[in-house]
Amino acid sequence: MATSLLAWVVGRKKSFGYAINGLSTLYRQTNARIHALATLLVIALGVALELNSLDWTLVAIAATVVWVAEALNTALETLSDAAVPEHSPHIAIAKDAAGAVLLASLGAVAVGVLVFTPHLVARLGFRW
């Protein structure tokens, strides 16, 4: 029993190590750094506007979707480059999956507009 528990713990430690390495690799991508800056700005604005828990939940989900799309796109592009180093129309189509990141980002912007606009309007004293 103790050895199987130890093996399980060691396996989880390795899994977390791979995950941390993957995040490190992701952060080396220029677009991921742009997403990181946007995420930090959104968090700062949310703190300044004192978002409620529902608004924070919506913002967190939107940001997570963008980060997951970017991570999957990075993995797909890296795998495509390794599998077929020369230009290939099929690989070009696979790399067009970057459109998924664009869709996720546009969705996150829409969530941001819906969440932040009422807070900004109230804070600035505008009336409809």
pLDDT at residue 16, as a whole number: 87
Tokens of 122: 């109230």
Q: For residue 50, give the 3-state DSSP assignment.
A: coil
Is 70 exceeded by the pLDDT of residue 25? yes
Give the length of the chain. Answer: 128
Lookup: tokens for 40? 């930090």
| Extents of the domains making up the chain | 30-124
Classify domain 30-124 at the CATH topology level.
Helix Hairpins (1.10.287)
In the predicted structure, residue 6 carries a pLDDT above the cut 90? no
Catalytic residues: 70
Measured CA to CA, the distance from residue 81 to residue 79 in angstroms comes to 5
Contact 31, 37 (CB under 8 A): no
Q: Output the CA–CA distances (angstroms, integers) from residue 97 to 23, 43, 65, in the order listed.
A: 19, 27, 14
Q: Cα separation of 67 and 63, whole Å? A: 6
Place of tokens 């939940």: 57
The Cβ-side half-sphere exposure at 24, using a 13 Å CA radius, reads 6
Residue 10 has pLDDT above 90, yes or no: no
pTM of the model: 0.85
Give the pLDDT band (50/70/90) at residue 9. confident
Confidence at residue 12, expressed as pLDDT on a 0 to 100 scale: 85
The pLDDT tens digits for 46-103 are 999 999 999 999 999 999 999 999 999 999 999 998 999 898 898 888 888 889 999 9
Angle at 21 between CA 31 and CA 27, to 5 degrees: 15
What pLDDT, on a 0 to 100 scale, did the predictor assign at position 1?
63
pLDDT of residue 90: 87
128: pLDDT strictly greater than 70: no
